[in-house]
A and B are shown apart, each in its own frame.
Chain A
Amino acid sequence: MRHLLAALVALALLIPVPAFAGPVQDLLQAHGSAIIKSSRKTIQPTIDAMAASGLPEVQLILQKWQAREIWQRKEDGQFFIGEEVEKRVYRLTDFDTGERVGDYPKKELKQVKPNSGVQAMIGTALVQFQLTDPDPSLRAAALDSIQRDPAPELLPPLRASIESETDPTLKAQKDRLNTLLTISYGADDAERIVAIDSMAGDLGVDVRATLNPLLDTTRKIADGDTPGTENVAKVLVPGTDLTETEAYDLIVAAWLAPARIEPDDIRNALAAHIDGGTVGSIPVATLSDPAKRVLAYDALAANGTVPPRVTPADQQAALAQFTIYDAYLEPSQQVTDAAQDALTDIELNVSLYQTLDLSLDALSLASIYFLAAIGLAITFGVMGVINMAHGEFIMMGAYTGYVIQQIIPDYTLSIIVAIPVAFLVTFGAGVAMERLVIRWLYHRPLETLLATFGISIALQQIAKNIFGTQARPLTSPAWLDGAWVMNDVVSISYIRIAIFCLAMIFLAVFLFIMNRTRLGLETRAVTQNPRMAGSMGINPDKVNMLTFGLGSGIAGIAGVAIGLYAKVTSELGSDYIVQSFMTVVVGGVGNIWGTLLGAGMIGFLQKGIEWMNPSNTLAAQTYMIIFIIIFIQFRPRGIIALKGRAAGD
Chain B
Amino acid sequence: MSRSFFLKNPSVLVFIACLALFTLGATILSDGFGVGLISTSFIKTLGKTLCLCLVAIAMDLVWGYAGILSLGHMAFFGLGGYMIGMWLMYERTRLIITESMSNAAIPPTDQEVVDAIGTQIFGVVGSSDFPTIWLFSASLPMQLALVVLVPGLLALIFGWLAFRSRVTGVYLSILTQAMTLALALYLFQNDSGLRGNNGLSGLQNLPGLDAVPQSTLSVWFLWASALALGLGYVLIAWVVSGKFGSVIRGIRDDEARVRFLGYSVEGYKLFVFVLTAIIAGIAGALYYPQAGIINPAEMAPIASIYLAVWVAIGGRGRIYGAVIGAALVSLVSTWFTSGQVPSINLGVYTVNWVDWWQVVLGLSFVLVTLYAPKGIGGLFDLISGRTPPNRHGKDLGPDAGSLQEQEAEQ
Contacts and interface: CB of A to CB of B under 8 A. Distances in A.
A446 B399 contact: yes
Contacts of B370: 437, 440-441, 451
B198 interface: no
B400 A444 contact: yes
Interface residues on B, range: 35 or more
B26 interface: no
A221 to B, nearest CB: 30
Contact of A451 (B161, B177, B365): B365
Contacts of A285: 107
B373 interface: yes
A629 B185 contact: no
B133 to A, nearest CB: 15
A577 to B, nearest CB: 9
| Majority secondary structure, A binding face | helix
A463 to B, nearest CB: 10
Interface string A361-397: 0000000000000000000000000100000000000
A174 interface: no
Given A290-B111, A446-B173, A449-B173, A284 B178 contact: no
B373 A447 contact: yes
B165 A271 contact: no
Given A622-B185, A630-B161, A457 B358 contact: yes
Interface in A264-290: 267, 270-271, 274, 279, 284-285, 287-290
Interface stretch (B200-208, B209-217, B301-309): B301-309
B273 interface: no
B109 interface: yes
Contact of B104 (A271, A585, A618): A271
B107 A284 contact: yes
Given A444-B396, A447-B397, A450-B308, A287 B181 contact: no
B405 A625 contact: no
Nearest to B396: A444
A446 B170 contact: yes
Contact of A461 (B106, B177, B356): B356
Interface string A450-476: 110111111111101100000000000
A601 to B, nearest CB: 15
Contacts of B409: 443
Contacts of B244: none
A450 B358 CA distance: 15
A456 B181 contact: no
A616 interface: yes
Contact of A632 (B167, B173, B309): B167
Given A270-B106, A446-B170, A461-B356, A578 B178 contact: yes
A453 B369 CA distance: 11
Contact of B109 (A288, A437, A441, A628): A288
Interface in B96-115: 104-112
B108 to A, nearest CB: 6
B189 interface: yes
Contact of A457 (B104, B112, B365, B397): B365
Nearest to A440: B370
Contact of A465 (B69, B356, B363): B356
A293 interface: yes
B363 A621 contact: no
A616 B366 contact: no
B165 A453 contact: no
Nearest to B371: A440
Contacts of B400: 443-444
B161 A633 contact: yes
A74 to B, nearest CB: 64
Interface residues of A, number: 56
B107 A288 contact: yes
Contact of B170 (A287, A288, A445, A619): A445
Contacts of A446: 69, 169-170, 173, 399
B175 A578 contact: no
A293 B109 contact: yes
A340 to B, nearest CB: 34
B408 interface: yes
B359 interface: yes
A453 B191 CA distance: 32
Contacts of B302: 457, 574
A454 B399 contact: no
Nearest to A530: B409
B312 A450 contact: yes
Nearest to B349: A465
B109 A290 contact: yes
Contacts of A581: 174, 178
A582 interface: yes
A636 interface: yes
Nearest to B178: A625
A530 to B, nearest CB: 9
A19 interface: no
B122 interface: no
A432 to B, nearest CB: 12
B167 A457 contact: no
Given A446-B399, A618-B188, A462 B107 contact: no
Contact of B185 (A293, A621, A632, A633): A621
Contacts of B332: none
B179 interface: yes
A626 interface: yes
Given A288-B108, A446-B173, A636-B165, A457 B361 contact: yes
A622 B191 CA distance: 13
A442 to B, nearest CB: 9
Interface in A563-618: 574, 578, 581-582, 585, 616, 618
A457 B362 contact: yes
Interface string B334-376: 0000000000000000000001101101111110011001000
A312 to B, nearest CB: 19
Contacts of A441: 369-370
Contacts of B399: 444, 446-447
A443 B408 contact: yes
B358 A578 contact: no
Given A455-B366, A618-B186, A267 B175 contact: no
B182 A622 contact: yes
A480 B366 CA distance: 41
Interface string A46-66: 000000000000000000000
Q: Which of B109, B112, B158, B373 has the most CB of A within 10 A?
A: B109
B312 A628 contact: no
Given A461-B355, A628-B178, A456 B362 contact: yes
Nearest to A385: B170
B158 A629 contact: yes
6 nearest A-B pairs in the assembled complex, by CB-CB distance: A458-B362, A454-B365, A457-B362, A461-B358, A625-B182, A271-B105
Interface of B: 69, 104-112, 158, 161-162, 164-167, 169-171, 173-175, 177-179, 181-183, 185-186, 188-189, 191, 301-302, 305, 308-309, 312, 355-356, 358-359, 361-366, 369-370, 373, 396-397, 399-400, 405, 408-409
23 contacts: A263-B112, A267-B106, A284-B105, A288-B107, A288-B109, A290-B111, A293-B106, A437-B370, A441-B370, A446-B170, A446-B173, A447-B399, A450-B369, A454-B361, A458-B363, A458-B366, A578-B177, A618-B189, A625-B179, A625-B182, A626-B182, A629-B158, A636-B166
Given A386-B174, A450-B312, A582-B178, 15 more contacts: A263-B112, A267-B106, A274-B106, A293-B109, A444-B396, A446-B399, A453-B365, A454-B366, A455-B362, A461-B362, A462-B359, A578-B177, A578-B178, A618-B186, A619-B189
